[in-house]
Amino acid sequence: MLVNGREMEYKGGITISSLLNDLNLDEDKVVVEVNREIVLKKNYSSYTLHKEDKVEIVSFVGGG
Amino acid sequence: MVKIKIFLNERPLDVKDGTTAFEIKNKFKRDADIVVLNGFIISEDTVLKQNDKLTLIKRGEIPSKDELEALMIARHTPGVHEKVKKAKVGIAGLGGLGSNVAISLARIGVGKLLLVDFDIVEPSNLNRQQYFVKHIGMAKTDAMKELISLINPFIKVETEKVYIDENNIEDIFDDVDIIVEAFDNPKAKATLINTVLKRMPNKTIVAASGVAGYFSNNAIVTKKIRENFYLIGDEVSEAKPGCGLMAPRVSIAANHQANTVLRIIMGEREV
């Protein structure tokens, strides 16, 4: 699957939670888009990503 | 005799065809030292055309409230003012980003601003936020409302002293067209942006992330993430011990946000 334009491979799919964990991202500080649809945090642990999925993740840092 | 219609200090006026700007000045306000034609200060005399907007200003003279509005409108580019005046913009957070965005949008004459913040002004805010020493202890919403009234008293300002969370976002921002995310806390940024994108598809959100330190100016960019989501910053410079928030870079980002809001109002959706 494509994550922020980069190809990544996971056998048998991976949940959004595990992907964020893998990328060292905090699920409280991100916006996740799968195939242009926003997925909310409450669904990260149940949403399984597949190889044809296009994922965009925007993560935020503090300061303003 | 052919007459044309012009606007003198925003009021319609019929003049003889071929009349020049300086002839009008000499007739109506001989002591004016600034002549603004269609939003632009002119130093050479110009023949007026149908629907030209002419404004005469005497430097240093404090105008009445009616006159002031005409004089301020004169400096807004025609075609921009009418649209900007109709816009309603919500600002979530009135810290370094939000206080700067609010003032820029007030200066260009955005018709209605909704200012939302739960906090008070503290001494540590003064290194980058647009408040004065006298505002310390005052709610940021009240302090900003006062500042805007001193800059442009024709802006409608609404305030909400409330902590924004996922349960009140839809209510608070129901009436605005564009929402500016101007929080400090990254979790609060994510909550607001996710909620707007998921539940408020008709709004556009202009957010910021990565504004700390004194890294290059040019690392701060405006990105269009999706149709109704713009993100400004370098996306990595986090505020932390040893890398604080400072006025120059925070206000660079804030004014990227303000200009993005202006561009959206004017129908320019690309960055």
- Please tell me the predicted confidence (pLDDT) of residue A58: 98
User: Is residue A35 included in any domain, yes or no?
Assistant: yes
- Which domains does chain B show, CATH number per domain? 3-75 (3.10.20.30), 81-265 (3.40.50.720)
- Please tell me the predicted confidence (pLDDT) of residue B77: 79
- Whether B118 has a pLDDT exceeding 90, the answer reads yes
Query: Among residues B77, B70, B162, which one has the least CA distance to residue B116?
Result: B162
What stretches in chain A show pLDDT beneath 70? none
- Please tell me the predicted confidence (pLDDT) of residue A54: 96
- Please tell me the predicted confidence (pLDDT) of residue B122: 98
Q: Which three-class secondary structure state does DSSP give residue B82?
A: helix
How many CA within 13 A on the CB side of residue B185? 11
- Please tell me the predicted confidence (pLDDT) of residue B9: 87
Is B208's Cβ below 8 Å from some Cβ in A?
yes
Number of domains within chain A: 1
Determine contact, residues B42/B21, Cβ cutoff 8 Å: yes
> How distant is the Cα of B127 from the closest Cα of chain A, in angstroms?
12
ipTM of the prediction greater than 0.90, yes or no: yes
Rounded-to-10 torsion of CA B21, B26, B27, B33: 80
Tell whether the torsion through CA atoms of A40, A41, A44 and A46 is positive or negative: negative
- Please tell me the predicted confidence (pLDDT) of residue B79: 83
Task: Provide the pLDDT confidence category of residue B63 given band limits of 50, 70 and 90.
Answer: confident
Is A53's Cβ below 8 Å from some Cβ in B?
no
Determine contact, residues B114/B89, Cβ cutoff 8 Å: yes
pLDDT in tens, B67-98: 888 878 877 877 888 899 999 999 999 999 99
pLDDT in tens, B159-173: 999 999 999 999 999
Write out the residue range of the structural domain in which residue A49 sits.
Answer: 2-59
Sheet holding B221-226, edge to edge: B156-160, B112-116, B88-92, B178-181, B204-208, B229-233, B221-226
In chain B, which residues have their Cβ closer than 8 Å to the Cβ of A43?
A: none
In chain B, which residues have their Cβ closer than 8 Å to the Cβ of A30?
A: 190
Rounded-to-10 torsion of CA B139, A61, B204, B142: 10
Query: Among residues B242, B180, B247, B236, which one has the least CA distance to residue B207?
Result: B180
- Please tell me the predicted confidence (pLDDT) of residue B209: 98
Looking up residue A7, the CATH number of its domain turns out to be 3.10.20.30
Q: Which two tokens stand for residue B43?
A: 């130093």
Distance CA A64, CA B251 (A): 9
Task: Provide the pLDDT confidence category of residue B267 given band limits of 50, 70 and 90.
Answer: very high
- Please tell me the predicted confidence (pLDDT) of residue A10: 87
pLDDT in tens, B15-59: 999 999 999 999 999 999 999 999 899 999 999 999 999 999 999
User: Is residue A64 included in any domain, yes or no?
Assistant: no
Main-chain dihedrals φ then ψ at residue B191, nearest 5 degrees: -60, -50
Task: Provide the pLDDT confidence category of residue B64 given band limits of 50, 70 and 90.
Answer: confident
- Please tell me the predicted confidence (pLDDT) of residue A11: 83
